[in-house]
């Protein structure tokens, strides 16, 4: 049999940190690169393969023959699946083999092999005895541990001595090289004896620790005994972890090394004295320990920050984010000022814009471009000042605030610290978190920031803070004063397509262990996803849809249901992503009179909204529904008055006195307010009363006055982008807003027709094609609109 196999050559899979015995089911982690090659080989039917253990863990790059042990097992591969940061291979191990004559092929090693038959120098009876002995020992040891049943049950089912060794070996605290040595032993008897030897050592060590704990227990209470046992187990584990726990240094040394300022050091030393005096039994000791742990872990001393390389910073920003030219310019200018003034902090940047437009990730890119650490704290929904400033240590379960926690996580004194969602801070009875944040952000004060938990002032002046928000409206004034706002606006569909192709898709592929050889998504499909499966200002939902495709793809590819590369086209999206979510064409066609498309600005970007109106017999009442704010309600009343004054003469048929009018603005996700729906409300009423439909592909925004003038409004860029997203073709805007169109990307401008207006007559002409009487008729029409004298 050995002779027959002599000429065979199989692919070699390097295994890190595991030694696999014959006849076991096993899971092996593969690097991304190896995983992909193995995957392709399998598809070509190249199975089984040879599993060889790596001599050194943390092997980087492809291993050379010298990096591998020369005795391993044949593996019959069951599946290869993408797993975090690589692939996971499931296989059944076959015979033990020795290998020789390595060669390289398709980026992997191949080798000749011969099967090694172990010397079976234990008779059957002895084998059974050994098996029983090992099982008994393990059972006895396991009694000391909760939850060991899971481990024990499969063991009891095993009968062959080889299988049992293979099963318990990974759990024994010995190094990979020792395991390999055991594996290579040619005599079954020697192997068994070695395993038993290892087991006994382990058992003794546990036994000893438990005995000690019992002795202690006579003097202390039960709770304490448990905690001590746990502590001792931890020490045992550390020790068994091959010296990882060696050289544990005490607090005193850590305090010395932490480079604390005098005040902090004094506090730390006095706490340490307290700790030593109270002894380990004292239940309060862990409170002091936690405090000391924080003190020694916080970064206290300043590292020299490297020079800022402006050009490189720009490159990194460009690499991470497509477009956003103005924003990047502003950031670079900011960095340039910091460089010139040799400041570590500069003023505080505030990135404002709709969700998913890259604010948080820009913060990360800025950190990268400065070569500084990045930390982030989310402030959304915080209503308690203590979340920022910490709880006093006298409270049970007290913690430092998010700022100090962030600094601990950063581990350096000059990180880039992103404060996410500062617009969502809430005020409540437990104090005003915004005012605590003021102290953090104020360069005059933040060199001695006080956290209630920490007690000692902490210097934040080296930190570069960057804040993010969706809207400026809800940020308290004093906080806003300290920051320099940079607006980020929605992306156009073209920008989204490029971001999807160059940034989001590669990221989605990587996160799912895929690449372009396995999955491709056509440009046309990307366009369909953007148009019909998402409707958003940013690209977050788009990323989610791409992730979904990647998930479906990895399942299909791994199970061999599709050929690779799997090419996804627009037609296939229905099957993968389900029904289309948005069909603008449907919403925008066939509406009755009284319905008009308006444009709104919201913190999550611009949006289109439909204003609906209807009338019925009644007494001249006006009903408004749909979560309208006060300003919007006023606009509706102004509109009605205007209609009655301007149109009454033209529509004597409509009896304002005997009709009730109802206006509804479907609320969508956010309540709306502001004067900018004025002309849309006006047009909706005119359309209703005249019984003439308005083309819903015509959208409009503008404030109206009682005199019938149209005034400029804010948020033009966001509104125009939303109109474009929604498939609108013409937009009525106030004349004074024409200058704002400069900010709208050229491509979008070219695809829309803008109609600037100054008064409601122009609006009506455009929307309903009616010419209102000239102003001299106004007096007369007013009279006509007045209710008859009682």
Ligand X SMILES: Nc1ncnc2c1ncn2[C@@H]1O[C@H](COP(=O)(O)OP(=O)(O)OP(=O)(O)O)[C@@H](O)[C@H]1O
The binding site for ligand X (CB under 6 A) comprises: 321-324, 355-361, 468, 470, 499, 503, 538-540, 543
Question: With CB cut-offs between 5 and 8 Å by kind, which of Mg ion, ligand X, none does residue 540 bind?
Answer: ligand X
User: Which window, 60-68, 352-360, 422-430, 745-753, contacts Mg ion (CB under 5 A)?
Assistant: 352-360
Q: Which entry of 496, 672, 717, 719 is annotated as an active-site residue? A: 719
Distance CA 421, CA 330 (A): 20
C-alpha dist (Å) from residue 625 to 19, 90, 444, 630, 664: 70, 60, 49, 12, 5
Distance CA 141, CA 151 (A): 12
Would you say 360 or 602 has its CB closer to Mg ion?
360
For Mg ion, the binding residue among 202, 360, 490, 597 (CB under 5 A) is 360
User: Which window, 6-14, 197-205, 357-365, 558-566, contacts Mg ion (CB under 5 A)?
Assistant: 357-365
Backbone phi, psi, residue 59, to 5°:
-60, 130
Q: Which entry of 93, 369, 613, 676 is annotated as an active-site residue? A: 676
390-449 binders of Mg ion (CB under 5 A): none
Would you say 357 or 545 has its CB closer to ligand X?
357
Question: With CB cut-offs between 5 and 8 Å by kind, which of Mg ion, ligand X, none does residue 324 bind?
Answer: ligand X
Kindly state the smallest distance separating residue 181's Cβ from ligand X, in Å: 47
Distance CA 322, CA 498 (A): 8
Kindly state the smallest distance separating residue 423's Cβ from Mg ion, in Å: 11
Question: With CB cut-offs between 5 and 8 Å by kind, which of ligand X, Mg ion, none does residue 539 bind?
Answer: ligand X
Residue nearest to ligand X (CB): 358
Distance CA 580, CA 56 (A): 51
Would you say 359 or 512 has its CB closer to ligand X?
359
Distance CA 767, CA 747 (A): 25
Contact present, 192 and 168 (Cβ < 8 Å): no
What is the DSSP-derived secondary structure letter of residue 145? Answer: S
Structure tokens at 752: 């829309």
Question: With CB cut-offs between 5 and 8 Å by kind, which of Mg ion, ligand X, none does residue 322 bind?
Answer: ligand X
Q: Which bin fits 691, alpha (ψ -120 to 50), beta or left (φ > 0)?
A: left
User: Which window, 15-23, 307-315, 354-362, 440-448, contacts Mg ion (CB under 5 A)?
Assistant: 354-362
Question: With CB cut-offs between 5 and 8 Å by kind, which of ligand X, Mg ion, none does residue 323 bind?
Answer: ligand X
Question: With CB cut-offs between 5 and 8 Å by kind, which of ligand X, Mg ion, none does residue 356 bind?
Answer: ligand X
Question: With CB cut-offs between 5 and 8 Å by kind, which of ligand X, Mg ion, none does residue 321 bind?
Answer: ligand X
Kindly state the smallest distance separating residue 406's Cβ from ligand X, in Å: 17
Structure tokens at 647: 């149109």
Sheet strands (E) in 144-191: none
Would you say 385 or 421 has its CB closer to ligand X?
421
Distance CA 635, CA 603 (A): 21
Kindly state the smallest distance separating residue 322's Cβ from ligand X, in Å: 4
Distance CA 627, CA 644 (A): 25
Residue 486's nearest CA partner among 712, 674, 319, 332 is: 332
User: Which window, 355-363, 482-490, 726-734, 762-770, contacts Mg ion (CB under 5 A)?
Assistant: 355-363
Would you say 471 or 729 has its CB closer to ligand X?
471
Beta-bridge partners for 116 = none
Residue nearest to Mg ion (CB): 360
Question: With CB cut-offs between 5 and 8 Å by kind, which of ligand X, Mg ion, none does residue 358 bind?
Answer: ligand X
Kindly state the smallest distance separating residue 358's Cβ from ligand X, in Å: 3
Would you say 420 or 761 has its CB closer to ligand X?
420
Distance CA 612, CA 592 (A): 9
Kindly state the smallest distance separating residue 540's Cβ from ligand X, in Å: 5
Contact present, 377 and 419 (Cβ < 8 Å): yes
Distance CA 275, CA 293 (A): 12
SS3 52: strand
Would you say 339 or 540 has its CB closer to ligand X?
540
Question: With CB cut-offs between 5 and 8 Å by kind, which of Mg ion, ligand X, none does residue 26 bind?
Answer: none
Contact present, 408 and 298 (Cβ < 8 Å): yes
Q: Is 471 a catalytic residue?
A: no
Contact present, 543 and 506 (Cβ < 8 Å): no
Would you say 14 or 354 has its CB closer to Mg ion?
354
Residue 436 host element (H or E): helix 433-441
Residue 193 host element (H or E): helix 188-217
Q: Is 719 a catalytic residue?
A: yes
**Half-sphere exposure in the Cβ direction for 162 (13 Å, CA):** 22
Kindly state the smallest distance separating residue 551's Cβ from ligand X, in Å: 17
Structure tokens at 23: 């006849």
Kindly state the smallest distance separating residue 360's Cβ from ligand X, in Å: 3
Kindly state the smallest distance separating residue 53's Cβ from ligand X, in Å: 38
Indicate which residues carry an active-site annotation.
676, 719
Residues that bind Mg ion (CB under 5 A): 360
């Amino acid at each position: 049999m050995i002779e027959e196999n002599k000429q065979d050559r199989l692919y070699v899979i390097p295994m890190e940190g595991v030694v696999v015995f014959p006849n076991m089911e096993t899971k092996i982690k593969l690097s991304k690169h190896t995983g992909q090659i193995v995957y392709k080989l399998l598809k070509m039917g190249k199975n089984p393969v040879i599993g060889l253990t790596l001599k050194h863990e943390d092997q980087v790059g492809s291993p050379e023959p010298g990096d591998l042990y020369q005795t391993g097992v044949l593996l019959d591969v069951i599946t290869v699946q993408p797993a975090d940061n690589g692939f996971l291979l499931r296989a059944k191990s076959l015979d033990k083999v020795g290998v020789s004559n390595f060669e390289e092929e398709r980026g992997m090693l191949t080798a000749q092999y011969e099967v090694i038959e172990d010397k079976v120098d234990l008779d059957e009876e002895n084998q059974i005895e050994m098996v029983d002995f090992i099982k008994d020992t393990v059972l006895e040891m396991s009694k000391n541990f909760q939850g060991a049943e899971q481990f024990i049950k499969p063991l009891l089912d095993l009968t062959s001595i080889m299988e049992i060794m293979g099963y318990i070996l990974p759990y024994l605290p010995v190094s990979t090289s020792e395991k390999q040595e055991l594996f290579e032993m040619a005599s079954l008897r020697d192997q068994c004896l070695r395993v038993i030897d290892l087991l006994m050592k382990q058992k003794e060590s546990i036994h000893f620790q438990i005995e000690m704990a019992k002795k202690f227990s006579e003097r202390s209470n039960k709770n304490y005994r448990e905690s001590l046992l746990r502590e001792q187990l931890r020490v045992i584990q550390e020790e068994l972890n091959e010296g990882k726990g060696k050289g544990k240094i005490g607090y005193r040394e850590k305090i010395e090394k932490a480079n604390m300022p005098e005040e902090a050091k004094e506090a730390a030393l006095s706490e340490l004295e307290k700790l030593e005096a109270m002894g380990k039994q004292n239940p309060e000791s862990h409170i002091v320990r936690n405090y000391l742990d924080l003190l020694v872990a916080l970064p206290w001393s300043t590292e020299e920050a490297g020079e800022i390389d402006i050009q490189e910073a720009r490159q990194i920003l460009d690499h991470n984010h497509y477009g956003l030219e103005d924003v990047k310019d502003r950031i670079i200018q900011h960095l340039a000022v910091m460089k010139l003034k040799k400041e570590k902090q500069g003023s505080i940047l505030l990135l404002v814009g709709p969700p998913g437009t890259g604010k948080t990730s820009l913060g990360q890119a800025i950190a990268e471009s400065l070569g500084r650490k990045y930390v982030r704290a989310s402030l959304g929904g915080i209503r308690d000042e203590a979340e920022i400033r910490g709880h006093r240590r006298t409270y049970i379960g007290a913690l430092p605030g998010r700022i100090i926690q962030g600094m601990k996580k950063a581990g350096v004194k000059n990180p880039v610290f992103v404060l996410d969602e500062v617009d969502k801070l809430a005020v409540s009875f437990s104090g005003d978190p915004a005012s605590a944040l003021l102290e953090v952000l104020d360069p005059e004060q933040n060199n001695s920031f006080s956290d209630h938990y920490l007690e000692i002032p902490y210097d934040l002046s080296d930190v570069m803070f960057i804040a993010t928000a969706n809207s400026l409206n809800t940020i308290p004034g004093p906080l806003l004063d300290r920051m320099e706002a940079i607006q980020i606006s929605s992306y156009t569909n073209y920008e989204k397509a490029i971001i999807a192709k160059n940034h989001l898709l590669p990221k989605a592929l990587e996160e799912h262990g895929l690449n372009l050889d396995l999955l491709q998504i056509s440009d046309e499909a990307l366009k369909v996803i953007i148009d019909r499966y998402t409707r958003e200002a940013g690209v977050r939902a788009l990323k989610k849809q791409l992730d979904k495709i990647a998930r479906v793809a990895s399942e299909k590819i791994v199970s061999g249901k599709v050929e690779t590369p799997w090419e996804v086209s627009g037609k296939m999206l229905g099957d993968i992503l389900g029904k289309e979510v948005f069909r603008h064409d449907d919403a925008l066609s066939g509406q009755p009179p009284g319905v008009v498309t308006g444009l709104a600005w919201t913190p999550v970007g611009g949006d289109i909204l439909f204003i609906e109106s209807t009338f019925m017999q009644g007494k001249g009442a006006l009903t408004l529904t749909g979560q309208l704010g006060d300003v919007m309600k006023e606009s509706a009343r102004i509109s009605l008055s205007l209609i009655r004054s301007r149109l009454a003469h033209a529509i004597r048929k409509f009896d304002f006195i005997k009709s009730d009018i109802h206006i509804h603005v479907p609320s969508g996700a956010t309540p709306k307010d502001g004067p900018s729906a004025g002309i849309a409300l006006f047009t909706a009423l005119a359309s209703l009363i005249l019984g003439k439909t308005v083309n819903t592909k015509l959208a409009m925004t503008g404030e109206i006055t009682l005199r019938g003038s149209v005034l400029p409004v804010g948020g033009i860029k966001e509104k125009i982008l939303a109109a474009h997203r929604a498939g609108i073709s013409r937009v009525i805007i106030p004349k004074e807003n024409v200058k704002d169109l400069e900010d709208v990307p050229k491509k979008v401008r070219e695809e829309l027709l803008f109609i600037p207006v100054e008064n409601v007559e122009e609006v009506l002409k455009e929307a309903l094609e009616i010419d209102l009487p000239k102003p001299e008729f106004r007096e007369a029409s007013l009279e006509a609109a007045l209710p008859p004298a009682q």
